[in-house]
Amino acid sequence: MLDVSALLFAILVVVAIYALFIAGLYLAGRKTDARALARLVPDCIVLGKRLLGDSRVPLRNKVALGLLVLYLAMPFDLVPDFIPVVGYLDDAALVLLVLRSLVRRSGPELLREHWPGSGRGLQLLLRLTYSPGGWRTT
């Protein structure tokens, strides 16, 4: 049986670490980066919803997006989310793999068109998923 109070505590710890990281960026004078990072997760959720509704997104990528959403919503992961920072690395890696596959197949224009957030957040996402010169395989 899952202990609800332990889960809530773990969520609070992760949120606190995330907030401290954003506050650190803000205090270091990187206000634009702090805002973009704070909005990245909610913006990616909206992006996924918009991409699922776009008829130009290939069925294969829609299935991958749908499976990704299901995986992210599951209470258990390959690496449990209650482990601070490391617990979300598997989630982040899967998000990047799915978006990278979509960008390779459809191009970065779809992400640009559907991105609800700031230009800095889009820059970060494209840097992680798109390489205009091609991806290195070595």
What was the pLDDT predicted at 137? 44
In a domain, 32, yes or no: no
In a domain, 26, yes or no: no
pLDDT tens column, 20-47: 666 776 777 777 766 666 677 678 778 8
Closest CA to 47 of 105, 102, 127: 102
In a domain, 4, yes or no: no
Domain that holds residue 72: 39-129
Choice between 15 and 99, residue whose per-residue pLDDT is larger:
99
What was the pLDDT predicted at 138? 42
In a domain, 111, yes or no: yes
pLDDT confidence tier of residue 7, bands split at 50, 70 and 90: low
Q: Can you tell me the distance from the alpha carbon of 106 to that of 84, in angstroms, rounded to the nearest whole number?
A: 34
In a domain, 60, yes or no: yes
Residue 134's Cα: distance from chain center in Å? 22
The tally of domains found in the chain comes to 1
Answer for the pair 114, 54: CB distance below 8 angstroms, yes or no. yes
C-alpha to C-alpha distances, 55 to 97, 111, 134, nearest whole angstrom: 21, 14, 26
In a domain, 2, yes or no: no
In a domain, 24, yes or no: no
| pTM of the complete model | 0.63
pLDDT tens column, 46-104: 888 899 999 999 999 999 988 887 777 776 777 776 666 666 677 777 888 888 898 88
